[in-house]
Structure 1
């Protein structure tokens, strides 16, 4: 996070003064990169429950931060399921890789047939007594995101956002389609806000040695999508939910227009002074004149 963004997050937190750290569940917390909520965690504005069933990935998770709770659970609908553990832990899933899909894509071939299959118990977030109701759910569960969501209706009652990996092209046999996850999110009151990133690959063709794969790779694979609770329904939200969305928009999504909209709503409720939105806008990078 750039220094200017860090400064805006600290300034914003002082103005809206959250009563407690934001509560975040990270399902599939494999530490392949920096999690998007890291700025909130470093600023002391978040408490995180990280779930990772793959032993290799679990061993790499940082357990030194008292605000991070690491749990070795496979999260889903509950009950026993097959777990396919691949040597490349980022590929491990409740579903097996699809040979047909990989044959088309021409990527991920090295992972086929390398998995160890075992029976594991999956756990619903709603059944975890020590897990509070959430402000944000982050999911990267290699196809199991729909099952996670369906087992978290109670924990998401007051949540204002979900960050989820969405598969554009099926990699695993049996994994739910993108539209199924989108429908389930909308049924729980969330709408698509933005994509944080999208991953593409060049298809396997005869001229692959003669072209720039990064320049012409066109097949969408997956990406992280941000869903927010329908803002049209904000009359039913409490002030803490509006403030939580503002902090998430600033510290996780990079959605500065959403921050300003939340500040407008808080000002209309008398929660912050009317000039706070203008002061925040003054801190944003200015557009370069055409």
Structure 2
């Protein structure tokens, strides 16, 4: 699904009458690619609180007036062992599983390369600088459930969670997709969509003779989008509706964004013309 263009984000920002920039918390802010929320930050519509405990990855985070970065490990709170690997994106509170990697035939170069250290994790609920939360994005290499468990208070007002969900275990002891799904549903969130899914080709004798990309069938993980249940919209605050419309547009969930705008129109929070103006700015392939 096509993501929102700059003009669409700018139009929403101008017409939604935000009381304050959206509050985005990014746990595992390692800058390996463009974060999905980047258009909101570029438009001045969001402030990011980014957490990255790996020193090498933290040093690569570019200063931004719309972002506050902290070299903090977020989790349940308390002492933990941090497994730092030469490839910073593999670092985790959990050790890589030799059995899993032996089956997959990938990631072998990381085994036995970690440096272990004792660290103190902090629960998001204990970080006073963050007084509210609209979007929680988590890429914590297996520690996603720990982050969720330590953020129950702040998640009570959030409208969206984007988290890496593990389909096949990479780390010993890490929670799996059913664990994270249960943790989020207990807090009122439901699965909305996947932004992407990652799969690998299993190791076999004929690997040199086949197209590995086309034959990658073993699912590893994917970024899952959860939203606060929207079935009973009467329980939603006006600010939450505005946040959902912007976030849904940003990730390309345009039907969800339009439903949020329709709800705002019904409440008298937006002009009746706003949903139509939204569609006018969609890519041609999405319009009838």
TM interval, shorter chain, is over 0.9
- 1:157, distance to aligned residue in structure 2 (A): 1.4
Q: Which residue of 1 aligns with 2:60?
A: 60
| 1:149 is the counterpart of 2:123 | no
SS of 1:8's equivalent in the other structure is helix
Where does residue 238 of structure 2 map in the other structure? 239
1:287 Cα deviation after fit? 3.8
Superposition pairs of residues 139-288 of structure 1, within 5 angstroms: 139-251=138-250, 253-287=251-285
Provide runs of 4+ in structure 1 moved above 3 Å. Answer: 286-290
How far apart are the structure 1 equivalents of 2:79 and 2:4? 47
- Which stretches in structure 2 are left out of the alignment for 5+ residues? none
Match in the other structure for 1:130? 129
User: What are the Cα deviations for residues 238-269 of structure 1, in whole angstroms up to 9, with x where unaligned?
Assistant: 11100100000112x11111111011000000
1:3 to 1:95, Cα distance in 2 relative to 1, 3 A: closer
Is the 2:22–2:45 contact (alpha carbons within 8 Å) kept by the matching residues of 1? Answer: yes
Q: What does the per-residue CA deviation read over 1:86-135, in whole Å, with 9 as the maximum and x for residues that have no partner?
A: 01000000000000000000000000000001110000000011112100
RMSD between aligned alpha carbons?
Answer: 1.6
What SS does structure 2 have at the residue aligned with 1:198? strand
SS of equivalent residue, structure 2 residue 163: strand
Shift of 1:54: 0.6
Query: Does the 8 Å contact 1:133/1:154 carry over to 2?
Result: no
What's the TM-score once normalised by structure 2's chain length? Answer: 0.97
TM-score (norm 1): 0.96
1:29 pairs with 2:29: yes
SS of residue paired to 1:224: strand
5+ residue gaps, structure 1:
none
